[in-house]
Structure 1
Amino acid sequence: MTEPAQGGVQERGDVVSGPDAPENHGGDSARAPQMLPAPAAGAAQVHGQHGQHGQHGQHGQHGQVPPPPSGPPAWDGPPPVTANPARRRLLDEIKAMSNRVSIRWRLTLTYAALVFVAGVFLLMLMYVLAGQAIDAAWPGNILVPNINLPQSTEDTIKEYYLQTLADAIATARGELLRRSLPALLGVAILALMIGYLVADRALRPIKKMTATARKLSETSLAHERIDLTGPDDELKELADTFDAMLTRLNAAFDAQRRFVDNASHELRTPLAINRTVLEVALADPEASEDLKVLGRTLLGTTARNERLIEGLLLLARSDRELSVRKPVDIQEVAKTAIEQLTAFAAEEEIAVEYDLHPAPVTGDPVLLERCVSNLIENGIKHNMGPTGKVWVRTGIVGGGAVVQIANTGPHVPAYEVDSLFEPFRRLNADRVQSAKGAGLGLSIVRAIVRAHDGSVSAVPRDGGGLVMTVRLSVTGGTTGATQSAR
C-alpha cells in the first residue's frame, strides 16, 4: 500500500478479516490495531509507608537518668492463629456456590427440608406411640392351662411365650419403620415438586418486574409499566412503587428533552439571521478590510454555534426510542461516511485506511450514518497531522456487527477514556482547541448506540490515539468476509 503525500483515503490490497489481519500496512511504522477485545487495564500497586513513633517517658525526679532497659521485652500473648488455607478455600467455595443458587431453588429446598423434617418427627412419634400402646395393652402375665407340669417346664413355657410375643412386637415395629421410610421419601419428593411450583408461582410477579425493568433499561423509559394485578400484598406494593418511580423519571426526562428541543430551535433562527447579515456585509465590495476580518471571525463563531445547536438537537433525538427501524448494512454506511470525509482528511493531511466487510443490522439509517461519521471525523480531528492515520473496519466479530475506528494521536490516559463520552468533555480542556468541535461527538455516538441496543467502548492505543469499537446486533445472514471496499 502506498501512502499519499498529502493525506486522503487509502484502501488495502490484501484483505484479511478478523483477528488475523496484519498490522503493518505497506511497511508503515504505524500499526492498525486488531479487531480484538480490549485487554483489561493493569492494577496499580500502592505501597504504604510506616512511620516509627518514639515513646518518651516522664520522670518524677529531676536530674536522674533512668537506667537502660533490661530483661526480655514484654510478651503480648501468643501469635494469632491463622485459619487453615484449605479449609478457608473450601468454605469460600461453599459460600460462592450458595450465592449462585436462585431464590426459587432456595425456597424449594427449604419447603422440602421442612416437610422432610416434619415427616421424620411424625414417624418417630408414631413409633413411640405404637410402643406405648402395645405396652398399655400388655396383660402382664401368661395363663398356662391347668396341667400338672413340673415347675421348670411351666417356667420354660412362659419364657417361650414371652420371647415369642416380644419378637413379634419388635418385628411389627420394624416393619412399621420399613414401610414408613419409602412413604417418607415419596412425601419428600412430592414436597420438592410442590415447593418448586409454589416458589415459581410466588416469584412470578418478581419475574415480571425484572423483565419489565430489563426492557425499560434497554430503551428510553417508554410508557410501559409493570401494572401488576392480584392481591394487595407486599409484591403489588413494590410494583406500584416502581411504576410511580418510572413515571416520575419519564416526566423528568421528557421535560429535559423538550427543553433541549425548544432551546435549540429557538436559537437556530437568530443564528441563521446573523449568518445572513454577515454574508451580505462581506459581499459588499465597499466593505473595509477591518470589517471583512471581523465578519469572517463572526462567521466562524456563528458556524461553531450552529454546529453546537445541531449537535444538541441530534443528541436529544438519539436519546429517544427509535421511531424508524430498517435493514442497514454498516459496510455501506462506513463507505458513505469515508467518501464524505475524504476532502476533510486531505485538508488535515490524514491518511484514512479501511477494510470493510458486510455487517447487516436493523436501525435508523440516518442515525447510524451520523454515528460512524462522528467516529471517523473524531479520529481525523484528534490526530498527529501529516503523519497521522485513521483505520476503519467493519464486519461480523463474535456474532455481532462491529465497526472499529482507530487513529494515531496524543496519548490518552486510561482513566480519562470514559469521561470523553460525556457531553462537552474533551481530552484537552484548553478552549483554544474549541474550534475542533463542541464536545458532543462521542456523546451523540453513545446515545445512538444505546438507542440501537448496542455497546460502544474505547481503549487507548499503543503509541497514542484511541481504538473505538461499536457492537450492534446482527440481523439476517452474512456472506462472510469480502474484499475491501473499492
Structure 2
Amino acid sequence: MRGRLATVPRGVRALRRGPGLRARLTLIYSGLFFGAGTALLLTTYLMTARALDRQFVIRLPPLGEPSPGRDRKFLAFQIGKDYVAQIEQGKQQVIQDLLQNSALIMAGIGILAIILGYMVADRALRPLHRVTEAAERLSESTLHERIALAGPHDDVKRLADTFDAMLDRLQRAFDAQRRFALNASHELRTPLAINRTLLEVALEEPDASEDLTRLGKALLSTNARHERLIEGLLLLTRSEHELVARRPVDVRDIAQGVVELLEPTARRRRITVTERLGPATAGGDPVLIERCVFNLVENALKYNVKDGRVEVEVTADGGNVVIRVENTGPLIPGHEVADLFEPFHRLRERVGSAQGSGLGLSIVRAIVNAHGGTVEASPRAEGGLTITVRLPAAPRTLLQAR
C-alpha cells in the first residue's frame, strides 16, 4: 500500500483533503469581519434614521397678510406640507449616501482584511509547516533529523518538542532492531553451522551403523530447515527496511539466472518452466530483487502438481517493471489468497510440507513494499496461482549515472 500512496502526487492528495488550515482560518477571519461589519452597518443605519427623526423639526416661517381668496389656515397647511416633503427627501438621501459609502468602505477594508488574515494565518502556521515537512521527510534513513523549533514555549513549540522526542524514541528502536538482526545473524547461525559440520563428519564415518546414518540424515535435514528459517527471518527483517540507495537492476537477467538455478528442481519434479522475458530495468537493490524473483519461482515449483507447469514473464509497462509468475497446482479459495503473504501461513494443502519456512511470499511482499511497488495474487480457476509484482522502473537519471 505504501507504493500506491507514493505514486499519488502531492497536489492531488491536497485536493482530495480539501482546503488547508490556512485557507480555513482565512475564511473564518473574513467571515467574522464581514459579519461584524454588516452588524455595525445595520446598527449605524438604524441609529442614524432614529436621530434624523428626532432632530429634524418643522418650523413654519412667519405668515403675512392672507391673500384674497385664501385664508391663513390653508396657506399654513400648504407651506408645512412642502417642508415635510423636503425633509423626508433629505433624510432618505442621507440614509442612502450613508449605506453606499459604508458598503464601499467595508468592501475595501474587507479585501484588505482577507489579505492580512491570509498573511497572519501563514505566519501563525509556519511552525506547523516545519513539523509537516519533517514528517513528510521522515524515513528510516532520515531519523536523525530534528525540527529544533526556536521561539516562545507555546502550543506549537510543545508540539515540535514532542515530535522531536518521538523521533528520538524511533531512532533508538530502529538502532536496537538493527543490532538485534546483526547479533541474531551471528549467534543463531554459528551453532547451526557447527551442528551441520558435526553431523556431516559423523555421516562420513565408514563404520557408522545404518540407524546412526538414518538419524544423522534426519538431524541434518532438520538443521537445514532451521537454517532456512533463520535466513528467512533475517531477510524478512532486512526487506522491511527502507532502501537507502538504488541502482539499475536488469530484471530479465535476474529472472533468467533464477530459472537456470532452479532448473534441476523443476526437472526432478517433472515441471515444465516457460520463460517470456523482455528487457526491463528496475531501480532498487539487486540482491533483494533477485531474492524476490527466486522466492516467486521456488514457490511456484514447490507447490505444484506432477507434470505441472510454471510460466515466468518479465515485461516493461510504462514506468513499471512487471514480473508475473503463474503455476498449476491445487485449487486455492479466493478468500485465503491474501493470507498467503502473512508470515508462517500456509494453506491446508501445504501444512504437511516441510520444504519451506512459510516466509517465502512474506519476504516477497516486504521486498516489493521496500521498493515502492505492489504485489497481487489471484487463484486460477483450474488450480494454482498467479502472482504479479510491479516494481518502479529505473529513472533516466539513474540509468545515465550507471
Query: Contact conserved, 1:360 with 1:476, CA < 8 A, in 2?
Result: no
* Range with greater deviation from structure 2 (436-445 or 229-238): 229-238
Q: Name the residue aligned to 1:452.
A: 371
- Look up the match of 1:134: 52
Equivalent in 322, 343, 352 of residue 432 of structure 1: 352
Q: 2:22–2:122: 8 Å Cα contact kept in structure 1?
A: yes
Amino acid at match of 1:393: E
Q: Deviations over 1:442-480 (max 9, x none)?
A: 2222222222233333333333333323223233359xx
Query: RMSD value over aligned CA atoms?
Result: 3.1
1:236 equivalent in alignment to 2:134: no
Q: In the alignment, residue 273 of structure 2 is paired with which amino acid?
A: V
Structure 1 match to 2:335: 415
Q: Which residue of 2 aligns with 1:385?
A: 306
Cα pair distance change 1:230/1:300, threshold 3 Å: same
SS of aligned partner of 1:385: coil
Q: Aligned partner of 1:446: which letter?
A: R
Q: Is the Cα–Cα contact under 8 Å of residues 222 and 321 in structure 1 kept in the other structure?
A: no
Q: Secondary structure at the match of 1:406?
A: strand
Relative contact order, CA 8 A, sep 6+: which one is greater? 1
Residue pairs, 1:239-250, within 5 angstroms = 239-250=160-171
Pairwise CA distance, 1:206: 4.0
Tell me which protein shows more helix as a share of its residues. Answer: 2
C-alpha separation between the residues in 2 aligned to 1:429 and 1:115?
Answer: 71
Going from structure 1 to structure 2, the CA distance change for 1:189 and 1:338 (only over 3 Å counts) comes to farther
Partner amino acid, structure 2, of 1:445: V
Deviates more, 1:411-420 or 1:305-314: 411-420
Q: Is residue 395 from structure 1 mapped to residue 278 from structure 2 by the alignment?
A: no
2:182 pairs with 1:264: no
2:65 to 125, 148, 168: 148
User: What is the match of residue 79 of structure 1?
Assistant: none
The range that moved more, 246-255 or 161-170, is 246-255
Q: Deviations over 1:187-208 (max 9, x none)?
A: 4444444444444444444444
Residue of structure 2 equivalent to 1:315: 236
Q: How far apart in 2 are the matches of 1:225 and 1:191?
A: 35
* TM-score normalised by length of structure 2: 0.82
Q: Please report how far the alpha carbon of residue 219 of structure 1 lies from its aligned counterpart in structure 2 after TM superposition.
A: 4.4
Q: What secondary structure, in the 3-state scheme, does the structure 1 residue paired with 2:352 have?
A: helix
Q: Distance between the aligned counterparts of 1:250 and 1:414, measured in 2?
A: 40
Which letter does structure 1 place at the counterpart of 2:342? E
Which residue in 2 is equivalent to 1:6? none
Aligned position for 1:333 = 254
Residues in 2 aligned to 1:261 and 1:231: alpha-carbon distance in whole angstroms: 43
* Structural mapping, 1:174-189, within 5 Å: 174-189=96-111
Whether the 8 Å contact between 1:212 and 1:225 is mirrored in structure 2 is: yes
Shift of 1:220: 7.2
Cα 1:465/1:197, change in 2 over 3 Å: farther
Number of aligned residue pairs: give it: 379
Corresponding residue of 2:8: none
Partner of 2:395: 476
Which 5+ residue runs of structure 2 have no aligned equivalent? 5-14, 398-402
After superposition, give the CA deviation of every residue in 1:277-334 in whole Å (9 maximum; x if it has no partner): 2222333333333333223222222222222222222223223333442122333332
**Cα shift at 1:416:** 3.0
Gaps of 5+ in 1: 1-36, 38-96, 479-486
Match of 1:173 in 2: 95
